[in-house]
């Protein structure tokens, strides 16, 4: 039986990112885990939903709160392939999520410093499967640039 | 005919906040206006939706993007009775909303500095109907404390 560690769950988040890429969305995927059980899976859907706020994390938070029937996710871990933006950090704050594990660092960050936005009780770990999570984004944007030439 | 100025639209946002209070939600209301036309009305629904991210502004952004069929709100103004939190500022950034007018200052702010989170092109104005927007919150929390005694 495969051990369900951070790499295991990040792989599932990466599967979500691949689904996003397959329909032309910026490939960021997320899963939320509670007691080793996945309670939410999602990917970025800003294009499909025509909603600039439909990041993978936002979808995942809402789905997870629905799944557990409560407003707080302090017993849960969010796995997300890209470091959360300020909006998603702010959302994470309100959910009081216990732990956030992200893959790639957000090198394209265009606004805000997220460090002060996390909930003080949220444990944050970055760089899990960083290369794979970063590569899927780089490939996506490279292909996009080539199509636009 | 009544002039449709900031006070006019903030009054409509305050009506939304009153609706929130009437069902036991923290009374924050919002409207989004485009060319003097209201394209979204909403209020905080964190309790009803069991979703800690269901702030008035988040609902309004999604509704407004659906209404105009586009991801950007640069021609729009958000009227909200309370100064936005970092999550909502981050969301506003992604929508590139043209203008934000808020009522009460967020005196209870518990995390984050929002100033660096606004989009550089977003014009922000605070303090419109500040007294009324603040009073409805104070009354709500006072009643809540009294019920909990």
What's the rounded Cα separation, in Å, for the pair B56 and B12? 13
* Partner residue facing B51 (CB), from A53, A65, A93: A65
Q: What is the ipTM of this complex?
A: 0.94
Side-chain-side CA neighbours of residue A98 (13 Å): 10
A148 touches chain B (CB under 8 A): no
Tokens of residue B57, six digits: 């502004």
CB burial string B119-144: b at 16+ within 10 A, e below? beebebeeebbbeebbebbeebeeee
A89 touches chain B (CB under 8 A): yes
Q: Which helix (H) or strand (E) holds A90?
A: helix A86-95
φ, ψ for residue A81, nearest 5 deg: -70, -20
Note if B57 is an active site residue. yes
Give pLDDT tens digits for A7-33.
999 999 999 999 999 999 999 999 999
Give, as one character, the DSSP assignment of residue B25.
S
Give pLDDT tens digits for A34-54.
999 999 999 999 999 999 999
The secondary structure of chain B in percent helix, strand, coil, rounded to multiples of 5, reads: 40, 20, 40
What torsion do the CA atoms of A51, A91, B39, A23 make, to the nearest 10 degrees?
A: 10
What's the rounded Cα separation, in Å, for the pair A89 and A45? 18
* Partner residue facing B117 (CB), from A52, A65, A111: A111
Tokens of residue A122, six digits: 């949220």
Question: Are the beta carbons of B51 and A58 separated by less than 8 Å?
Answer: no
Q: Which residues of B touch A53 (CB under 8 A)?
A: 58, 61-62, 91, 94-95
CB pairs A-B closer than 8 Å: 108
- Whether the pLDDT of residue A1 is over 70: the answer is no
Are the C-beta atoms of residues B117 and A110 closer than 8 Å to each other? no
Q: Which helix (H) or strand (E) holds B77?
A: strand B76-82
Give pLDDT tens digits for A79-135.
999 999 999 999 999 999 999 999 999 987 778 888 889 999 999 999 999 999 999
- Whether the pLDDT of residue A55 is over 70: the answer is yes
Question: Are the beta carbons of A62 and B53 separated by less than 8 Å?
Answer: yes
Nearest-CA residue of chain A relative to B48? Answer: A71
Tokens of residue A43, six digits: 């990917």
Query: What pTM was computed for the model?
Result: 0.95
- The CA–CA distances, whole Å, from B86 to A87, A94, A99 equal 7, 10, 19
What's the rounded Cα separation, in Å, for the pair A74 and A85? 20
Average pLDDT of B128-137?
Answer: 98
Average pLDDT, chain B: 95
φ, ψ for residue B144, nearest 5 deg: -65, -45
What's the rounded Cα separation, in Å, for the pair B100 and B31? 10
Q: Which residues of B touch A71 (CB under 8 A)?
A: 46-47, 50-52
Are the C-beta atoms of residues A48 and A40 closer than 8 Å to each other? no
B71 touches chain A (CB under 8 A): yes
């Amino acid at each position: 039986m495969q051990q369900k560690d951070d790499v295991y769950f990040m792989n599932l988040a990466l599967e979500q990112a691949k689904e996003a890429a397959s329909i032309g969305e910026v490939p960021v995927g997320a899963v939320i885990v509670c007691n080793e059980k996945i309670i939410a899976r999602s990917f970025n859907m800003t294009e499909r939903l025509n909603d600039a706020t439909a990041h993978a994390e936002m979808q995942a938070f809402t789905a997870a709160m629905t799944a557990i029937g409560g407003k707080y996710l302090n017993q849960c871990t969010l796995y997300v392939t890209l470091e959360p933006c300020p909006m998603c950090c702010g959302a994470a704050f309100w959910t009081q999520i216990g732990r956030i594990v992200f893959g790639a660092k957000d090198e394209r960050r265009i606004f805000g410093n997220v460090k002060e936005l996390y909930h003080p009780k949220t444990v944050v770990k970055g760089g899990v499967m960083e290369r794979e999570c970063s590569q899927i984004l780089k490939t996506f944007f490279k292909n996009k640039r080539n199509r636009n030439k």
